[in-house]
């Protein structure tokens, strides 16, 4: 086996389908690969034939040129696949298994992994805790928007689906287990959503919609989603959410019209560092601290904020020099005065993915419908990126090997 096609970042606003190497059980040098990881042996890994691999908003940040990602980086951290080769140290995962791949790469051996903090594994990225496939500064593990991909520590990382036929039947839901469903759930869970909660979710992209569906699963009484994009807000309403267009007025005032009070019990930031402030639609100016400050103002005292939205330490396209290094003008005094709690960082996918798989398999959540999942061929990835960047209310699912039957 020698061939492999993949989606690669070629520069701001541009991705291409390239021919790339078939994976081996040793990390090779390449764009974005940490030099300390080159030559690293992976006998504990497997090679997957990709079943589905999704375009994520985090990928879009790189493609917009808003990170230090190098050209030719193979993209993709939302991966579901069929095992086609196993390394000599793999004991339990077998050829033919169909599995979900948590986007966090973790070893299962370090202190953080043993404490279920798999988003900050200490052993997979030589530069800092935490790693992911196909992502800038994450150790250089090759991305999964490809026909084949290597997954290390397979017995630990892979979530095997219990029945192949059932998995393929529900694949447009199960594909969301690699990232956005656990990430959205993490946002809602860490915000303290429970039975009877009122929840405000900033952002109606796929993660925001996943957070909204998760809040419903957790028993929220009212889920309010805010955004500037009317098409995405309509998608939130399609499964029972209330919505506000934040370009139409102060979010607190609009929340008061819905709830009778200008605040909610729980807040979720599903926007991140490319947040926009005053204005409407494409006219709104970027103001990266806007969402965080807004959430602090509308979350009730003693409440919590879940922050699955991405914030970075290196943003060459930022609005000012401070923001280029991740320093934002956050009103921490507001949060302190209201005794608010904050949870940030990568979602530890393995903390939630098995339970969420069971919720999908037993029809407790229809996440593919909630995020308007649409399967497209690998060759259509550039179009998918462009349409997603333009604000399409769609979660694009790449289907590189024909497993998804339209």
- Segments of the chain assigned to CATH 3.90.180.10: 5-179+348-398
- Segments of the chain assigned to CATH 3.40.50.720: 182-343
The whole-angstrom separation of Cα 349 and Cα 195 is 23
Q: What DSSP line would sit under 344-362, residue for residue? A: -S---GGGTHHHHHHHHHT
Please give the pLDDT value at position 66.
84
CA angle 240, 242, 244 (to 5 degrees): 145
Please give the pLDDT value at position 286.
72
Please give the DSSP secondary-structure letter assigned to residue 322. Answer: T
Domain 182-343 fold is Rossmann fold (3.40.50)
Please give the pLDDT value at position 280.
47
Q: What DSSP line would sit under 175-235, residue for residue? A: GGGGTHHHHHHHHHHHTT--TT-EEEEE--SHHHHHHHHHHHHTT-SEEEEEES-HHHHHH
Please give the pLDDT value at position 284.
67
Tell me if 132 sits within 8 A of 105, measured CB to CB.
yes
Minimal CA–CA distance to 362: which of 194, 97, 177, 170? Answer: 170
pTM equals: 0.94
Minimal CA–CA distance to 62: which of 136, 114, 166? Answer: 136
35-70 residue pLDDT tens: 999 999 999 999 999 999 999 988 988 999 888 889
Residues of the chain with pLDDT under 50: 1, 279-281
- Where residue 307 falls (left for φ over 0; alpha for ψ -120 to 50; beta otherwise) is beta
SS3 305: strand
Domain 5-179+348-398 fold is Quinone Oxidoreductase; Chain A, domain 1 (3.90.180)
Tell me if 196 sits within 8 A of 221, measured CB to CB.
yes
162-187 residue pLDDT tens: 999 999 999 999 999 999 999 999 99
Backbone φ and ψ of 219, nearest 5°: 105, 15
Tokens of 293: 């400050």
């Amino acid at each position: 086996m020698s061939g492999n096609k993949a989606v690669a970042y070629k520069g701001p606003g541009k991705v291409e389908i390239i021919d790339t190497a078939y994976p081996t059980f040793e990390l090779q040098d390449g764009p974005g690969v940490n030099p300390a990881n080159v030559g690293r042996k992976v006998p504990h890994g497997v090679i997957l034939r990709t079943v589905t691999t999704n375009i994520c908003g985090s990928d879009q940040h790189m493609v917009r040129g808003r990170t230090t990602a190098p050209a030719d980086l193979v993209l993709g951290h939302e991966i579901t696949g069929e095992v086609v080769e196993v390394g000599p140290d793999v004991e339990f995962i077998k050829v033919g298994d169909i599995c979900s791949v948590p986007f966090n790469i973790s070893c299962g051996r370090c202190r953080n992994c043993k404490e279920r903090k798999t988003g900050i594994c200490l052993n997979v990225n030589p530069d800092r805790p935490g790693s992911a496939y196909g992502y800038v500064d994450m150790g250089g593990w090759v991305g999964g928007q490809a026909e084949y991909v290597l997954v290390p520590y397979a017995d630990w990382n892979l979530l095997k689906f219990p029945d192949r036929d059932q998995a393929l039947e529900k694949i447009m839901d199960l594909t969301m287990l690699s990232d956005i469903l656990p990430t959205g759930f993490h946002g809602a869970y860490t915000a303290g959503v429970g039975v009877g909660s009122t929840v405000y979710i900033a952002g109606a992209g796929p993660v925001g919609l996943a957070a909204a569906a998760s809040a419903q699963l957790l028993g929220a009484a009212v889920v309010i989603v805010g955004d500037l994009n009317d098409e995405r807000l309509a998608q939130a309403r399609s499964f029972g959410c209330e919505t506000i267009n934040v370009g139409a007025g102060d979010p607190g005032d609009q929340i008061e019209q819905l709830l009778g009070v200008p605040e909610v019990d729980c807040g979720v930031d599903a926007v991140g560092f490319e947040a926009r402030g005053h204005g409407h639609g494409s006219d709104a100016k970027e103001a990266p601290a806007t969402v965080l400050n807004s959430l602090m103002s509308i979350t009730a005292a003693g409440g919590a904020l879940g922050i699955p939205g991405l914030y970075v330490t290196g943003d060459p396209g930022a609005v000012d020099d401070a923001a280029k290094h991740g320093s934002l003008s956050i009103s921490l005094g507001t949060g302190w005065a209201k005794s608010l709690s904050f949870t940030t960082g990568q979602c530890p996918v393995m903390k939630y993915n098995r339970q969420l798989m069971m919720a999908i398999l037993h029809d407790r959540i229809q996440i593919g419908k909630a995020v308007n999942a649409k399967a497209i061929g690998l060759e259509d990835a550039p179009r998918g990126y462009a349409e997603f960047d333009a604000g399409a209310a769609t979660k694009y699912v790449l289907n590189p090997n024909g497993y998804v039957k339209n």
